Amino acid sequence: MQGVVRPLILIICLLLSLTCLTFESLVSNSTNNGHLDEKLEIQLSLENDYTWEIVSGNWYSIQTNCITCTSILSLNDIELDSNHTNYFGQATENGQLKLTIENSEQEVFEISASVDVNDNYPQIRPAPSESFELYNAFQCLETNHCIDVNSPILSSSRTELNNDENKIISGVIDNQQAEFIGFEVTLGDTVEFYLEHSSSDVTFEAFFQNVTTEVEMGNVASSNTVMNYFDTPNVLFSNIEEDGRVIVKVSSATINTVWSLGIIIHSEDNPTMLDLSETTEIFGHNTKTIIFDLNDTTAP
């Protein structure tokens, strides 16, 4: 008898392109052009204090996500407002913004706060051949390293959003004029978009550009009202078919809308050898190449 080893290459397509999906998940926080703060630990204590440093003229949007709680928002220990589920405004001086929440009903909640926000993003979409300052979006380079394996749609884990890894970009639309952000992509990438926080209505539309042409990718995130990820989980995956850049248009019908958008780039996986003698799960985004070793035994 003679044993022959034959490699078998299997292409697995996960078909997660341009479909908006929702799911239940806990939330965390990150920051870019402001402090985005969503506390992962469940808040069950009677009193919870949250503080942020803020610069005069910068904006804040804080959503308590607690219906039965009472709360006080203060700047440098001077009360600004109280007993709202949504706080929004512009700092009149440098200092410490503080939110105190009384949770007498022991409600389970997570706050979402985008604080110390300002921006100077361009208000004109560049032509494909024009230079444009690009945002350094977070890129997940290790195979399956970012994926939350407990997520039904394999969205990214949210436990490391605190580390300021450019997973979230924030801004404020201060004159109802659309703004534009951009980031680089390469063939095989899968881009994960999610609306992290918004103080009002907001829409994010994406365009793919190479050096000569532009293709509309469509709406990648939106909300008609106040929204945050904990209250309304949302994810959209978009597959990239060639090298280039993605330009995102941010627009709102409401003046001074504070927004935060999550962007995570999942790089294409290298071919992977699978050992069938071990219990192995196969998962990922877009297309994955799996090589199986099959031992065929034939009689002489």
Could you tell me the pLDDT band of residue 249, with boundaries at 50, 70 and 90?
very high
Q: How far is 98 from 53, CA to CA, in rounded Å?
A: 9
User: Do 45 and 155 fall within a single domain?
Assistant: no
The whole-number average pLDDT for the span 162-178 is 84
Flag whether pLDDT at 24 surpasses 50.
no
Q: What is the pTM of this model?
A: 0.78
Answer yes or no: is pLDDT of 12 > 50: no
Instruction: Give me 55's structure tokens.
Output: 């610069």
Q: Please give the structure tokens belonging to residue 110.
A: 């997570």
> If DSSP codes are grouped into helix, strand and coil, which group holds residue 253?
coil
Q: Containing domain of residue 210, as a range?
A: 13-27+122-266
Is there a single domain that holds both residue 175 and residue 191?
yes
> What average pLDDT does the segment 221-231 reach?
95
Q: Quick one: 153 and 41 in the same domain?
A: no
> pLDDT digits over 102-161, tens only?
999 999 999 999 999 999 999 999 999 999 999 999 988 776 667 766 766 667 777 666
Region 182-199: mean pLDDT is 96
> Cα-atom radius of gyration of the chain, to the nearest Å?
23
Please state the domain count of the chain: 2
| 26-42 burial code (b ≥16 CB/10 A, e <16) | bbbbbbbbbbbbbbeee
Strand ranges in 55-135 using DSSP code E only, listed in sequence order: 59-63, 70-75, 78-82, 86-90, 95-102, 112-117
DSSP 133: P
Q: Average pLDDT for residues 49-65, to the nearest whole number? A: 97
pLDDT per position as a tens digit, 257-277: 999 999 999 887 665 666 666
Flag whether 86 is in a domain.
yes
* CA separation, residue 79 to residues 51, 74, 82, 268, 293 (Å): 13, 4, 8, 50, 67
Q: Is residue 252 part of a domain?
A: yes
Domain assignment present for residue 272? The answer is: no
pLDDT at 223 over 60: yes
- 299 versus 203: the higher-pLDDT residue is 203
- pLDDT (0 to 100) of residue 19: 35
Q: Is 108 contained in some domain? A: yes
| pLDDT in the model for residue 187 | 94
**pLDDT band with cut points at 50, 70 and 90 for residue 279:** low
pLDDT in tens, 26-52: 233 333 345 554 443 445 568 899 999
Judgement on whether residues 168 and 227 belong to the same structural domain of the protein: yes
pLDDT of residue 286: 63
Residues 139, 222: one domain? yes
